[in-house]
Every structure is written in structure tokens, then in C-alpha cells.
Amino acid sequence: MNEVILELKNIHKSFGNNTIHSGINLTLHKGESLGLLGGSGTGKSVLLRSIIGLEQIDKGEILFSGKRIDHLSENALIPFRIKISYSFQSGALFDSINVFENVAYPLFEHTKFSYNQIKDKVAKMLKLIDLEGKEDLMPSDLSGGMQKRVGMARAMILNPEIILYDEPTAGLDPANTLNVVSLMQKLKLKGLASIFVTHDIPSAIMLCDRIVVLHEGKIAFNDTPEKFQNSEDPIVKKFITSTKE
């Protein structure tokens, strides 16, 4: 198995009296795709946000390549937010700027590349997401699936080592879902590690090396997709049935 790139140790998180995580332990290896499943409100998005420091954990440790990254200042977090990219639940494009400006934004913000170098990088990235030459389109000109792919392109443009996907296929029709999942597959082949939060079990099984199920603040299941599908664990069985309705 490849080396560990991200490690969550004994994570605890509450909002007031509402306990969300009560001792989460999880490791992600280089190049690995991990599917993070669980019912609505089990704290999947909060866990992703905690990893990149958008939420403060109450107890525990988060390590990236062996270095602690929980409780860092906003400034100290910047290099890690480049290495660990977050693709938002909504796609979150800036509506008033075009595709080129959306994808190029992190490059203008965080690098000293020339305008021509940036144009080149964006063009390559648009090719990868099958939107070659679409620089001038506005987000409102794009389908939901295209918007998600542009959001993923923006999340990828600084060459992160990990990408955190929060429901990238939610609300998409089957064709667009397939497009997004095949883009995720391409990125995986490039060696990118990922955590894929989703309610879309077939996509998670297709893409992931490992499936993790969050339940009542803890990890109830952590094994291969095959073991997940054949699991006799009542929590896993109940969860799989509940998503089929």
C-alpha cells in the first residue's frame, strides 16, 4: 500500500449540544479514492470542511504527510489548501465571470505565471474536462454537469495531491453523472488521492478503492466496495436499503 497522505486521529466535533463526530479515525493513502457515505446529517460535509480548516475540530489531530494541520492560522493553511483541494457541493462558480476566469482564478491568486502561461494551463485543463475552447462561455451557458466539471477544473488547476469531492454528482442526470465520474476516474489515473462524499452508491463503487460509512458520529464500516456490497452488518444493510427508495 502507498504511503499515508492524510490521517484523521480521534476527531471530535460538536455544534453546541449536537455531537457530530465522536472519535473518527481514518487514513487516506497516496493515489487512493475513498468513498465517504452516510445518511443525511451524519457529518460528511463537516468532516471535509474540517480537513481543510473551514471548521475547527474540538479534539483530535489532522495530519497531512505527517504534519499537523488542524488549528493552523489562515495564513499557515494556505499551502495546505493548495495541496488539498475542495470541490464544493454546489460547484460554486462565480456567475459574473466566464469559464476561463473561473478556472484561472487560483492561478492568478496563488502563482506568478504569466498571462500566456495561464492561458495555456487553462486550455489544457478544459481539454481534460471535455470543454476544449469554451473559455468565453458564462456559467449560465453551461449545463449542470458542465458547471460541476468546470468547478472540478478550478479545484484541480494548482495540481493538488488530494481532492475532496462533496456530492459532485448530486442533481445530475445519468449522462452528466457518467461524465463527472469519468473525469474523476481520469484524475485518479493521474495519481490524485480523493475523498468522495456521495449518496450515489453505484458511482462510489465504480470509482473507489475503499468505502467508509459514517453513522452516529463514528465510522461504522471501512473496507473494499466488494465487502461493502456483501456486508451482513445491519447498519450497512439498512443504509444500502434506505438509498434504494
Ligand X SMILES: Nc1ncnc2c1ncn2[C@@H]1O[C@H](COP(=O)(O)OP(=O)(O)OP(=O)(O)O)[C@@H](O)[C@H]1O
Contact between 80 and 52 (Cβ < 8 Å): yes
Is 16:1 a contact under the CB 8 Å cutoff?
no
Among Mg ion, ligand X, none, the one that 20 touches (CB under a kind-dependent 5 to 8 A) is ligand X
The reply on whether position 42 binds Mg ion by CB under 5 A is no
Cβ(67)–Cβ(143) below 8 Å: no
Given ligand X, Mg ion, none, residue 40, with its beta carbon under 5 to 8 Å by kind, binds ligand X
Cβ-based nearer residue to ligand X, 41 or 171: 41
In the complex, least distance from residue 46 CB atom to ligand X, rounded to whole angstroms: 4
State the minimum distance, in angstroms, from the CB of residue 46 to Mg ion: 8
Residues forming contacts to ligand X in the complex (CB under 6 A) are: 15, 18, 20, 38, 40-46
Closer residue to Mg ion in complex, CB, 31/217:
217
User: Least separation, in Å, of the C-beta of 134 and Mg ion?
Assistant: 29
Least distance in angstroms from the C-beta of 167 to Mg ion: 6
Q: Give whichever of 44 and 121 is closer to Mg ion, judged by the CB atom.
A: 44
Residue with cell 451557458: 141
Q: Which is nearer to Mg ion, 38 or 160 (CB)?
A: 38
Please compute Rg for the chain using Cα positions.
Answer: 18
Q: How far is the CB of 42 from ligand X (least distance, A)?
A: 4
Minimum distance of Mg ion from residue 86's CB (angstroms): 12
Q: How many CB atoms lie within 10 A of CB 208?
A: 24
Residue 200 backbone phi and psi in degrees, to 5 = -95, 85
Per-residue cell: 143: 449545463
Q: What is the largest CA-CA distance in the chain?
A: 56
Question: Grid coordinates in use for 200?
Answer: 450515489
Please say whether the beta carbons of 186 and 105 come within 8 A. Answer: no
Kindly tell me which of 154 and 215 has the beta carbon lying closer to ligand X. 215
Nearest to 192 by CA among 84, 78, 35, 68: 84
Main-chain phi, psi angles of 162, to 5 degrees: -135, 140
Q: Does the protein bind Mg ion through residue 45 (CB under 5 A)?
A: yes
Binding residues for Mg ion, rule: CB under 5 A, are 45
